[in-house]
């Protein structure tokens, strides 16, 4: 990327857009190929059976649901970054609103895609509308996620109209409020898929809803920062450093809140001992300790970068943002695998045999006790879905008028 | 009063012979790897090992299948109603035709491993189907579990595991009918149920 940046900066301003557009086109094609590869693997998974994944009866959800949770969260940032300033009438983050919302829309589409690849019978999804069981948190999430996606698209459309003077600021403000409410709801409802299940001690906590919101804010904002920094480098955007610093500080605050919730939850689980105590051991010194400590350390590094003024350089802000997304990925891994890790009925023959995946058995034979690790097929499908995301993102940047309108001809003026 | 079918399983009589599990497997033509009813050892480190320290050892078996809860967590969780509680007899039923394979019910059920997913096209050790002709065909990528032999109930018969037990440890009937054998056993004998703290109100009673 450094080479590309150097090239684009070295090129005369008039030739720059064409050059970028060519590189972007190549990236678009690569992303499309990766996405098609993912679809091929998914078809193989459906035809050959999900036995090719490493999910089994005792760990019946895996990396797809981990990424579903992650991407629902990532979708939050964009919408919140762009709607909060409008709703509360405060100063925004320098015209990145439209790009932020587009990132948000792409992430929501990916979240839906990750659920679809996890389904055993995707041809039966129509039943969700025909036989909707309204007591199911999964059904609530499908409803809220659909509304959320539609609202995000309307919101982007309304922003574009408002900019061209065909809509009022008041109308946009009302829509912002609805979008914000929807964003908070979608994360809470996603948490409820897990948090309302009395079957798993690790999941069953009232804190899970607010905690998902805080994790969503953190990872979502981090993703917006990553996109903004990269687009700043390529010249698509020219966001001032003061806006980056503002967002970086917010990133630090969200990290602190998220870790605070984690601390509260660990104490509540561990204090009475029992199965809750097992959960704490599982995270701090057990099979999931790597993910747990990675999350904590990434969080601490993010806070140091965010709160020490001299460290708030663009490159370090980018590092903090990447670490924040990784920290939340670690969080999701812990939550999902951890939830299935401790069986309620600890009978000898239940935790062995065909209910444990080959991945799980491999871990057992190595002396480990982790029950799940994704198979190559699962990783391939995940990469394919991510390719779809990059494709959508680039397509939007190419075809939609997402650049800030305040941008002048001297687009390199305030680049850092 | 409504009917709630259930079982009383006498752990003092159970010898851990697996006959009920095998009877279930054959009756329902279960695919390879699936066991709707399992005989498990309680307390020991591995199957068929005792708990405790020599000479104070104790070996106990417990057979585990769907608990047909009065307050089932799975029914509430299924987004399409593919798992539901039958009003006429309280059986928690699974409709393979409706199941979309999301596995929400597996995540929701507190009873470890009783809900089983067909991770591939069902395979059978035999080249031909075994068991009862009225058993619905197993489907790839759907969740299944004990139905209390719904096909036998429809003919007024008991589940296959009940009569198969050579130790006469398994009893079946309407828990709400106080004159039934199961209801009487629960009144007369001490019993325990699995994971009562989860509030699911299981319909399987283990006589101790």
Contact B117 A125 (CB under 8 A): no
> What's the ipTM?
0.93
Tens of pLDDT, residues A51-87: 999 998 888 999 999 999 999 999 987 888 888 888 8
Residue A351 backbone dihedrals phi, psi, to 5 degrees: -95, 15
Domain assignment present for A66: yes
Give the pLDDT band (50/70/90) at residue A364: low
- What is the spatial distance between Cα A139 and Cα A133, in angstroms, rounded to a whole number? 7
Would you call A337 an interface residue with chain B, using a CB distance cutoff of 8 Å?
no
Contact A131 B117 (CB under 8 A): no
Would you call A26 an interface residue with chain B, using a CB distance cutoff of 8 Å?
no
- Is pLDDT at A231 greater than 60 in this prediction? yes
Q: Which two tokens stand for residue A237?
A: 């955007």
Tens of pLDDT, residues A313-357: 999 999 999 999 999 999 999 999 999 988 888 887 666 555 666
Q: Residue A182 in contact with residue A144, Cβ under 8 Å?
A: yes
Would you call B120 an interface residue with chain A, using a CB distance cutoff of 8 Å?
yes
Any idea what DSSP says for residue B116? E
pLDDT value at residue A353: 57
Contact B110 A344 (CB under 8 A): yes
Domain assignment present for A157: yes
Q: Which DSSP string do the residues of A87-106 spell out, in sequence order? A: HHT---SSS-HHHHHHHHHH
Looking at CA atoms only, how far is residue B179 from chain A in angstroms? 32
List CB contacts (< 8 A) between B100 and chain A. Answer: 119-122, 124-125, 127-128
Range of the domain at B53: 5-207
Nearest neighbour of A355 by CB, restricted to B110, B111, B113: B113
CATH number at residue B135: 3.30.70.20
Q: Which two tokens stand for residue A378?
A: 């699962």
CATH number at residue A243: 1.20.1630.10
Q: Which residue has the tokens 């839906």?
A: A112
Tens of pLDDT, residues A103-148: 999 999 999 999 999 999 999 999 999 999 999 999 999 999 999 9
Tens of pLDDT, residues B115-172: 999 999 999 988 999 999 999 999 999 999 999 999 999 999 999 999 999 999 999 9
Q: Residue A389 in contact with residue A75, Cβ under 8 Å?
A: no
Contact A136 B110 (CB under 8 A): no
For A53, which residue in chain B has the nearest alpha carbon? B119
Q: Which residues numbered 30-89 in B keep a CB inside 8 Å of some CB on A?
A: 33, 38-42, 44-47, 49, 62, 64, 73, 75-81
Contact A131 B99 (CB under 8 A): no
- What is the spatial distance between Cα A97 and Cα B180, in angstroms, rounded to a whole number? 69
Q: Which residue has the tokens 């990553």?
A: A226
Q: Which residues numbered 43-102 in A keep a CB inside 8 Å of some CB on B?
A: 46, 48-51, 53, 55-58, 60-61
Any idea what DSSP says for residue A194? H
Based on the structure, what is the number of domains in chain B? 1
Average pLDDT for B4-21: 95
Domain assignment present for A144: yes
Tally the C-alpha atoms within 13 A of residue A279's C-alpha that lie toward its C-beta.
27
Give the pLDDT band (50/70/90) at residue A361: low
- Show the 3-state SS of A268-321: HHHCCCHHHHHHHHHHHCCCCHHHHHHHHHHHHHHHHHHHCHHHCCHHHHHHHH
Domain assignment present for A304: yes
Reading phi first (left if > 0) and then psi (alpha if -120 to 50, else beta), residue B148 is in left
pLDDT value at residue A30: 96
Q: What is the mean pLDDT of chain A?
A: 86
- What is the spatial distance between Cα B118 and Cα A118, in angstroms, rounded to a whole number? 14
Using CA atoms, how far residue A260 sits from A36, A69, A214, A256, B1, in Å, is 41, 20, 10, 6, 51
Based on the structure, what is the number of domains in chain A? 1
User: Number of residue pairs across A and B with CB atoms under 8 Å?
Assistant: 149
Q: State how beta strands B170-174 and B5-10 pair.
A: antiparallel
**A66: buried, middle or exposed (CB in 10 Å: 19+, 13-18, 0-12)?**
buried
Average pLDDT for A95-102: 86
Average pLDDT for A307-312: 93
Query: Alpha helices, DSSP H only, in A59-168?
Result: 63-88, 97-118, 127-130, 137-163
Q: Which residue has the tokens 């109209």?
A: A161
Domain assignment present for A408: no
Nearest neighbour of A350 by CB, restricted to B103, B108, B112: B112
Average pLDDT for A204-214: 94
Tally the C-alpha atoms within 13 A of residue A145's C-alpha that lie toward its C-beta.
27
Tens of pLDDT, residues A30-51: 999 999 999 999 999 999 999 9
Q: Residue A336 in contact with residue A208, Cβ under 8 Å?
A: no
Domain assignment present for A141: yes
Lowest mean pLDDT across A169-183, A218-232, A308-322, B126-140: A169-183
Range of the domain at A91: 54-343+357-374
Q: State how beta strands B204-207 and B191-192 pair.
A: antiparallel
- Show the 3-state SS of B59-111: CEEEEECCCCCCCCHHHHHCCCCCEEECCCCCCEEECCCCCCCCCHHHHHCCC
Contact A127 B100 (CB under 8 A): yes
Quote the percentage of chain A above a pLDDT of 90.
59
For B122, which residue in chain A has the nearest alpha carbon? A49
């Amino acid at each position: 990327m450094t080479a590309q940046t150097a090239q684009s900066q070295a090129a005369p301003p008039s030739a720059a857009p064409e050059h970028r557009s060519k590189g972007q086109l190549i990236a678009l094609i690569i992303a499309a190929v990766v996405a098609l590869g993912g679809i091929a693997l998914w078809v193989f998974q459906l035809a050959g059976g999900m036995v090719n994944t490493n999910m089994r009866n005792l760990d019946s959800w895996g990396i797809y649901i981990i990424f579903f949770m992650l991407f629902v969260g990532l979708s939050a940032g964009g919408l919140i970054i762009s709607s909060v300033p409008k709703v509360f009438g405060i100063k925004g983050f320098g015209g990145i609103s439209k790009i932020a919302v587009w990132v948000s829309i792409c992430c929501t589409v990916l979240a839906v895609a990750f659920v679809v690849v996890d389904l055993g019978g995707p041809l039966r999804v129509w039943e969700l509308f025909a036989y909707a069981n309204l007591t199911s948190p999964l059904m609530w999430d499908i409803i809220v996620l659909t509304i959320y996606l539609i609202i995000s698209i309307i919101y982007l459309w309304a922003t574009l109209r408002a900019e061209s003077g065909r809509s009022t600021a008041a109308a946009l403000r009302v829509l912002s409020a609805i979008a914000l409410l929807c964003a908070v709801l979608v994360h809470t409802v996603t948490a409820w898929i897990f948090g309302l299940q009395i079957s798993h001690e690790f999941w069953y906590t009232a804190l899970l809803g607010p905690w998902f919101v805080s994790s969503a804010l953190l990872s979502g904002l981090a993703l917006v920062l990553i996109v903004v920094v990269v687009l700043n480098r390529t010249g698509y955007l020219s966001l001032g450093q003061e806006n980056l610093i503002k967002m970086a500080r917010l990133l630090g605050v969200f990290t602190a809140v998220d870790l605070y919730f984690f601390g509260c939850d660990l104490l509540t689980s561990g204090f009475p001992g029992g199965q809750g105590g097992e959960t704490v051991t599982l995270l701090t010194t057990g099979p999931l300790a790597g993910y747990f400590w990675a999350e904590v350390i990434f969080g601490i590094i993010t806070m140091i970068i965010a709160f020490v003024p001299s460290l708030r350089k663009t490159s370090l802000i980018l590092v903090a943002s990447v670490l924040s997304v990784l920290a939340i990925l670690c969080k999701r891994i812990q939550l999902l695998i951890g939830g299935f890790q401790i069986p309620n009925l600890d009978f000898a023959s239940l935790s062995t045999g065909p209910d444990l995946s080959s991945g799980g058995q491999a871990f057992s034979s190595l002396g480990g006790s982790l029950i799940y690790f994704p198979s190559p097929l699962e990783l391939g499908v995940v990469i394919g879905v991510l390719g779809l995301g990059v494709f959508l993102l680039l397509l939007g940047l190419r075809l939609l008028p997402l650049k800030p309108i305040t941008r002048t001809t001297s687009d390199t003026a305030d680049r850092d | 009063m409504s009917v709630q079918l259930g079982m009383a399983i006498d752990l003092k009589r159970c010898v851990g012979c697996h006959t009920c599990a095998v009877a279930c497997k054959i009756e329902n033509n279960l695919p390879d790897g699936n066991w709707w009813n399992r005989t498990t050892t309680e307390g020991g480190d591995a199957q068929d090992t005792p708990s405790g320290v020599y000479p104070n050892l104790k070996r106990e078996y417990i057979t585990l299948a769907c608990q047909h809860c009065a307050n089932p967590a799975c029914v509430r969780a299924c987004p399409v109603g593919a798992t539901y509680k039958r009003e006429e007899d309280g059986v928690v039923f699974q409709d393979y035709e409706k199941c979309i394979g999301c596995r929400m019910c597996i995540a929701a059920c507190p009873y470890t491993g009783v809900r089983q997913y067909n991770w591939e096209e069902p395979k059978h050790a035999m080249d031909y189907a075994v068991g009862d002709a009225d058993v619905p065909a197993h489907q790839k990528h759907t969740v299944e579990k004990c139905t209390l032999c719904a096909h036998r109930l429809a003919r007024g018969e008991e589940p296959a595991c009940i009569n198969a037990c050579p130790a006469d440890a398994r009893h079946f009937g309407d828990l709400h009918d106080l004159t039934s054998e199961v209801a009487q056993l629960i009144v007369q004998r001490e019993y325990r149920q699995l994971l009562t703290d989860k509030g699911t109100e299981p319909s399987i009673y283990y006589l101790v």
